[in-house]
């Protein structure tokens, strides 16, 4: 049997370390008589995924000593009510940052809600001002998943300058911002960046030439072993809930990478679960901390 040659990008361990660092900072802030960071979350309805995500966010706040507020609405909440609550949170000086868990029911104009959030408190980084500032390279709230991926690359000191980074997927919350960030004159960054998607004619060849592959398609086990060159770094952003009889919940989280085929070719690879998922939550916490400290905006 061959020895395992790849290293795991252990998002669980890194996020635990980051939580520890933030908890220590909260203790220091408290000791200095400062304000405890406060994250609020609006959750509409009872979607299983959304329930889990929001519960994890609240739990993580508790773990690191942030204040958190969960505001729940049923699926029949009106857009007006929701906008009213957003406005209230915008004006609440105690709330440093807040999120509206997506997706929202069809009768609510999601983009309208996002744009109603004061961008100074937009710790999800979805407001057009934060998206634009990120693209230009100005201080801003970077949305949590891309921020988490950057942090993971940074903590493992993965070389990026001049490398070819292929991003699979062009979503507004992962693919596009990830491409923009890996392109910036910064570390991590300074890559040649290629974005592929469902319409790409040459996706496999692109992947084969990549030093770093970030897969965010939401297609379970899309990336196969024959699409990856030796020594590549692979980041798996996929988290599809696939039915399973082996778990209590009745499903298991499945990534976009066929791990057993791809991992042996990699220098580094992030697993699912325990890779980008925990990094995402902890990055939202980091944004909240930055909001509390007024480190991005005055």
User: Nearest distance from residue 203's CB to a second copy, in Å?
Assistant: 7
Cis bond upstream, residue 188 (ω within 30): yes
**Residue 53, both tokens:** 């995500």
Measured from the CB atom, is 74 or 298 closer to a second copy? Answer: 298
Helices (H) and strands (E) in the chain, counts: 10, 11
Q: How far apart are CA 94 and CA 40, in angstroms?
A: 10
Distance CA 285, CA 148 (A): 11
**CB-wise, 10 or 211, nearer to a second copy?**
211
**Which of these is catalytic: 10, 96, 122, 124?**
124
Say how many Å lie between the first and final Cα of the chain, rounded. Answer: 57
Binding residues (CB under 8 A) for a second copy: these are 111, 127-133, 135-138, 161-164, 170, 172, 176-177, 179-180, 183-185, 190, 192-197, 199-203, 205-206, 209
Burial 39-77 (b: 16+ CB within 10 A, else e): bbbbbbbebeebeebbeebbebbeebbbbbbeeebeeeb
Contact 232, 212 (CB under 8 A): yes
How far, CA to CA in Å, does 275 sit from each of 182, 234, 237, 280, 281?
Answer: 19, 11, 8, 9, 11
Which residue among the candidates 19, 85, 96, 101 is catalytic per the annotation? 101
Token digits for 48?
Answer: 């299983």
Q: Which of 10, 19, 57, 265 is catalytic?
A: 57
Minimum CB–partner distance for residue 202 and a second copy (Å): 6
Q: Which is nearer to a second copy, 193 or 281 (CB)?
A: 193
Shortest Å distance, C-beta 198 to a second copy: 9
Whether 124 sits among the annotated catalytic residues: the reply is yes
CA–CA distance, 221 with 241 (Å, rounded to integer):
12
CB contact burial 227-239 (16+ within 10 A = b; e otherwise):
bbeeebbbbbbbb
As a whole number of angstroms, the distance between CA 34 and CA 169 comes to: 41
Residue bearing tokens 């969960």: 70
Compute the least distance from the CB of residue 291 to a second copy, in Å: 18
Least distance CB 75 / a second copy (angstroms)? 25
**At closest approach, how far in Å is the CB of 111 from a second copy?**
7
CB nearer a second copy, residue 196 or residue 272 = 196
Write out the catalytic residue numbers.
57, 101, 124
């Amino acid at each position: 049997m061959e020895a395992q040659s790849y290293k795991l990008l252990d998002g669980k361990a890194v996020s635990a370390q980051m939580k520890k660092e933030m908890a220590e900072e909260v203790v220091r802030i408290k000791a200095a008589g400062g304000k405890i960071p406060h994250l609020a979350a609006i959750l509409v309805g009872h979607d299983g995924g959304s329930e889990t995500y929001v519960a994890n966010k609240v739990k993580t706040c508790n773990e690191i000593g942030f204040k958190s507020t969960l505001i729940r609405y049923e699926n029949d909440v009106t857009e007006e009510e929701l906008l009213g609550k957003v406005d209230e949170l915008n004006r609440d000086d105690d709330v440093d940052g807040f999120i509206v868990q997506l997706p929202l029911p069809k009768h609510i104009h999601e983009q309208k809600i996002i744009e109603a959030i004061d961008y100074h408190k937009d710790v999800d980084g979805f407001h057009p001002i934060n998206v634009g500032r990120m693209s230009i390279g100005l201080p801003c709230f970077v949305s949590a998943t891309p921020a988490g991926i950057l942090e993971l690359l940074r903590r493992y000191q993965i070389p990026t300058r001049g490398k070819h980074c292929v991003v699979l997927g062009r979503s507004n919350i992962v693919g596009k911002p990830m491409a923009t960030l890996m392109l910036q004159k910064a570390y991590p960054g300074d890559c040649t960046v290629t974005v592929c998607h469902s319409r790409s004619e040459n996706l496999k060849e692109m992947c084969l030439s990549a030093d770093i592959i970030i897969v965010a398609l939401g297609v379970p086990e899309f990336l196969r072993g024959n699409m990856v060159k030796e020594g590549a770094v692979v980041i798996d952003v996929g988290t599809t809930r696939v039915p399973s009889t082996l778990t209590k919940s009745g499903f298991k989280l499945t990534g976009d990478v066929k791990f057993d085929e791809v991992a042996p070719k990699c220098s580094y690879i992030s697993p699912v679960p325990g890779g980008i998922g925990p990094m995402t939550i902890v990055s939202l916490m980091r944004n909240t901390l930055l909001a509390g400290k007024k480190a991005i905006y005055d």
